[in-house]
């Protein structure tokens, strides 16, 4: 396991205090608004190559046929071109490339966010050097998390069926949550696990949230893939519902910023195609939609990672008093004056 190393500089005073639910979101949005151009530049470096490839493949119709004629469909004619080998290869290649660049991007935005929180000015080159050094760690951590959540989802499907397709499970989980809320003395581990196992898909949700901050642990503390997942789980343990709510709200914010403007382009194109007796959009129109989505991702998608990073540092301060340790380090570094 890689040992965590201290970063240069110390946290700004505003990030040394304990942050409330609203504070985490407010500080994250403030960081984004003040430095949006830097975050956009960091995002552009990672998103442009896979994004432009997706646009090009869409324009050539290699990402699957998206435009169907109503007359053909009414006669029961189902186009087979979407399953052609070239399109499957293009889809797979584009997906893998996008995933690899996304891993680098998430590490880079995390590093840039921490530099700002410590009062510095991140340089693009240093941010990406740091991200590339942690690339394989974050990549392996992502794979492990994905596999883990997939296995837990399979188990949750079995539990979902056993609990009468979630009907009995929801009732049991709500009763257990009510007991947990009204009777602090009844907050035993078995009650918590009853809620997790009875709630539909509660198991993958629980561990997905517990492991959600592993990128920050891998980048900021230089922990290994498994150790970063364990570190995230430790920090989230006593703050599960708070973290879940913050991540949900931040996901909604990013989703609205990304897809609401894109819908203003996509919906008119879909209506235009429908007026011509076609379902879906033509390759050129699909390329336009993907180009707009690319621009929006560059501009706003970093908000989510900023929230993760701010929350990671806040949880670390809450659990370990990292901010106090930094202050003591600063005091010890001060020169001792004669007679002082």
SS (H, E, C) 148-163: HHHHHHHHHHHHHHHC
First to last CA, the chain: 42
Query: CB-based burial of residue 183 (10 Å sphere; 0-12 exposed, 13-18 middle, 19+ buried)?
Result: exposed
Angle at 187 (CA atoms; ends 185, 191), nearest 5 degrees: 135
Q: What pTM does this model have? A: 0.86
Looking at residue 4, its pLDDT comes to 43
Segment (H or E) for 118: none
Domain ranges for the chain: 13-136+210-327
Looking at residue 73, its pLDDT comes to 46
CB 265 within 8 A of CB 288: yes
Looking at residue 43, its pLDDT comes to 97
Angle between helices 85-117 and 21-34 (to 10 degrees): 100
One digit per residue, pLDDT tens: the chain, 340 residues? 333 444 557 888 888 888 999 999 999 999 999 999 999 999 999 999 999 999 998 888 777 555 555 444 445 544 444 556 777 777 888 889 999 999 999 999 999 999 999 999 999 999 999 999 999 999 999 999 999 999 999 999 999 999 998 899 999 999 988 888 888 887 888 888 999 999 999 999 999 999 999 999 999 999 999 999 999 999 999 899 999 999 999 999 999 999 899 888 888 888 887 777 777 778 888 899 999 999 999 999 999 999 999 999 999 998 887 555 555 454 444 454 554 4
DSSP character at residue 237: G
* Count of C-beta atoms within a 10 Å radius of residue 132: 12
Q: What span, in angstroms and rounded, lies between the C-alpha atoms of 78 and 59?
A: 22
Looking at residue 302, its pLDDT comes to 97
Q: What span, in angstroms and rounded, lies between the C-alpha atoms of 7 and 305?
A: 19
Q: What span, in angstroms and rounded, lies between the C-alpha atoms of 235 and 27?
A: 20
| Share of the chain residues as helix, strand and coil, in percent rounded to the nearest 5 | 80, 0, 20
């Amino acid at each position: 396991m890689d040992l965590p190393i201290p970063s240069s500089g110390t946290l700004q005073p505003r990030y040394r205090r304990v942050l409330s639910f609203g504070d985490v979101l407010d500080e994250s949005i403030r960081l984004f608004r003040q430095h949006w151009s830097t975050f956009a530049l960091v995002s552009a470096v990672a998103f442009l190559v896979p994004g432009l490839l997706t646009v090009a493949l869409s324009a050539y119709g290699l990402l699957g046929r998206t435009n169907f004629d109503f007359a053909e469909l009414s006669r029961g004619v189902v186009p087979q071109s979407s399953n052609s080998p070239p399109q499957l290869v293009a889809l797979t290649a584009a997906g893998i490339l996008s995933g690899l660049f996304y891993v680098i991007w998430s590490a880079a935005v995390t590093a840039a966010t921490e530099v700002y929180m410590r009062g510095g000015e991140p340089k693009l080159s240093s941010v990406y050097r740091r991200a590339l050094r942690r690339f394989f760690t974050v990549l392996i951590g992502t794979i492990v998390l994905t596999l883990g959540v997939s296995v837990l989802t399979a188990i949750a499907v079995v539990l979902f069926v056993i609990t009468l397709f979630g009907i009995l499970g929801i009732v049991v989980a709500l009763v257990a949550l009510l007991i947990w809320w009204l009777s602090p003395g009844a907050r035993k581990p078995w009650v918590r696990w009853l809620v997790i196992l009875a709630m539909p898909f509660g198991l993958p949700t629980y561990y997905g949230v517990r492991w959600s901050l592993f990128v920050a642990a891998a980048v900021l503390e230089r922990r290994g893939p498994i150790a970063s997942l364990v570190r995230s789980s430790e920090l989230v343990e006593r703050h599960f519902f708070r973290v879940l709510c913050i991540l949900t709200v931040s996901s909604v914010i990013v989703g609205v910023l990304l897809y609401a403007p894109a819908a203003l382009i996509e919906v008119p194109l879909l209506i235009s195609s429908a007026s011509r007796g076609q379902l879906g959009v033509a390759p050129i129109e699909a390329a336009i939609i993907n180009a707009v989505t690319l621009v929006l991702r560059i501009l706003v998608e970093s908000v989510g990672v900023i929230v993760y990073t701010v929350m990671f540092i806040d949880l670390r301060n809450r659990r370990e008093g990292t901010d106090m340790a930094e202050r003591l380090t600063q005091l010890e570094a001060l020169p001792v004056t004669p007679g002082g």
